[in-house]
Chains A and B, each alone.
Chain A
């Protein structure tokens, strides 16, 4: 990357139960730079620490060792300044708030005045194409729609970074592919940096400008693969030879990383 990194990870280790004999190394020697505007996927089998790495970036947990900067600040400061928005596997919307008031929540925490919150929430709902559902309640929406509301909510405070922790993992295949397309369209619109955790190879390749492949026990970065397929990527992109070739390449790296350290 020629540009200065927006996210920088230096020699990060994360050990759970560090002071007991059941210590588990979740992350080892993690070094990673992510430039502004990148769409980076963290890809790997379960237990490879990809979610833990994202949670370190988001200051939902802290590293045992090493340095992390997000937007030139500590993760804690970045979190307090709402420099990033976060989407989880479960939409986690608040049942008692209308869709619009759910999207307003980050702005409400920030202390924004009511009319400004309202205008911004409606703008975000238009962005995810749910404008007409502003007055509905989350439990009246399908799972895919709820996740789109969660994306609108994550973006409402204008963060420069979007962290996504397997956001499409709970959806069926049809909805999943549709939402992948939606996500790329939204990303093209708002131009935030995206860090996206997934265990789906095709999902990572379709979405990302770069795939960071991780291996398990201990969680390490095995490779960083640029995906040079041109944007905008559409449904037909999935059927091109270039797409297949990239999926194959990533799969080989993933399997090589796994067999390398698998005990006999």
Chain B
């Protein structure tokens, strides 16, 4: 369950001599049971690691706060102030952040803050998913285009790189204005901003993947009279699949960021980005609400990437383990 561990390039699938004995059991194509047990142990260790990291972060937060409170936010002897003051306004207790999730979203409301944020999150996730889908399709199409038409690749690539270095906050309002002029609903603008961030890692990684088959495999396809289309379909695209997923993971996080920033610019009434903006505005009334919203937004990204990891594991289940 690693979220941070995003491989940029999967290991090259070179043939290994006698690397693996044929499945010891009679089950055709099944992996040896020892390997499965090892995989299960690995997953358990990963889950333990995640819990450990969460506990550690919580400990640091509360420890720092307790220390600041005890010392009056000043380092003794030197007399320097703490970089972040530890009063409840700047750093609410974790318990009050979690607690806020159970309280009404606004006074007199019947919906709890947690339910409200989850509702807003699904709006954002939907926008991000549309953006990711559009971005992935565009990214894949560009990669195939770049592979087959070298001049286009040379001419267009610098512009693509440039497009990703322009700050999103500058691009987002423009997309919103164009969408408004075209009478498109606001969520289209938000999805477009998400797609704008999502396509690039897909293009770069997929292009590498399409070029990854060794000469022997390409020459074999040639030797059986396969054309470009067949070589693309049966060799290059399947070979690119692990690279595509590496790109999609990066694109998934980028599309959530894009959707949140897009919501801020687009003035949509809903979404987790909108919630963050609202709670930031009323920060002094309830600082824990902003932290709760940020927490939910972070969890959203994790859920998104994990869903993708499940899809990846399914799609690559027959590949050699890397």
Is the pair B16, A139 in contact by a Cβ cutoff of 8 Å? yes
Is the pair B318, A96 in contact by a Cβ cutoff of 8 Å? yes
A138 to B79, CA, bound (A): 68
Q: Which residues of chain A come closer than 8 Å to B20, judged between CB atoms? A: 139-141
Contact of A143 among B13, B17, B23, B217 (CB under 8 A): B17
A228 at interface (Cβ–Cβ under 8 A)?
Answer: no
Chain A residues engaging chain B, CB cutoff 8 angstroms? 58, 60, 79-82, 84-86, 88-98, 105-106, 108-110, 133, 135-143, 145-146, 157, 163, 170-171
| Extra inter-chain contacts (14) besides given A81-B225, A108-B234, CB under 8 Å | A82-B224, A86-B220, A88-B216, A88-B219, A88-B220, A92-B216, A94-B238, A96-B238, A96-B318, A96-B319, A105-B224, A109-B225, A109-B234, A137-B318
Q: Which residues of chain B come closer than 8 Å to A86, judged between CB atoms? A: 219-220, 223-224
A135 to B216, CA, bound (A): 23
- Tell me the chain B residues, 98-120 only, with Cβ under 8 Å from chain A: none
Is the pair A92, B214 in contact by a Cβ cutoff of 8 Å? yes
Q: Which residues of chain B come closer than 8 Å to A58, judged between CB atoms? A: 223
Minimal beta-carbon separation of B160 from chain A (angstroms): 29
Can you name the residue of chain B whose Cβ is closest to the Cβ of A135? B28
A135 to B28, CA, bound (A): 6
Q: Which residues of chain A come closer than 8 Å to B21, judged between CB atoms? A: 140, 142
Q: Which residues of chain A come closer than 8 Å to B15, judged between CB atoms? A: 90-93, 138-139, 143, 146
Q: Among A96, A110, A141, which residue has the most Cβ atoms of chain B within 10 A?
A: A96
Q: Among B219, B225, B230, B238, which residue has the most Cβ atoms of chain A within 10 A?
A: B225
Q: Which residues of chain B come closer than 8 Å to A85, judged between CB atoms? A: 223-224
Is the pair B29, A82 in contact by a Cβ cutoff of 8 Å? no
| Chain B 234-261 per-residue mask, 1 if CB under 8 angstroms from chain A, else 0 | 1100110100000000000000000000
Is the pair B220, A79 in contact by a Cβ cutoff of 8 Å? no
Is the pair A139, B230 in contact by a Cβ cutoff of 8 Å? no
| Chain B 4-15 per-residue mask, 1 if CB under 8 angstroms from chain A, else 0 | 000000000101
A262 to B95, CA, bound (A): 86
Q: Which residues of chain A come closer than 8 Å to B34, judged between CB atoms? A: none
B211 at interface (Cβ–Cβ under 8 A)?
Answer: no
A86 to B230, CA, bound (A): 18
Q: Which residues of chain B come closer than 8 Å to A105, judged between CB atoms? A: 224, 234
Q: Which residues of chain B come closer than 8 Å to A141, judged between CB atoms? A: 20, 22
Q: A82-B225, A135-B28, A143-B17 are in contact. Are A92 and B220 (CB under 8 A)?
A: yes
Contact of A60 among B16, B28, B222, B241 (CB under 8 A): B222
Q: A81-B225, A109-B226, A143-B18 are in contact. Are A92 and B29 (CB under 8 A)?
A: no
Minimal beta-carbon separation of A66 from chain B (angstroms): 21
B320 at interface (Cβ–Cβ under 8 A)?
Answer: yes
A110 to B227, CA, bound (A): 11
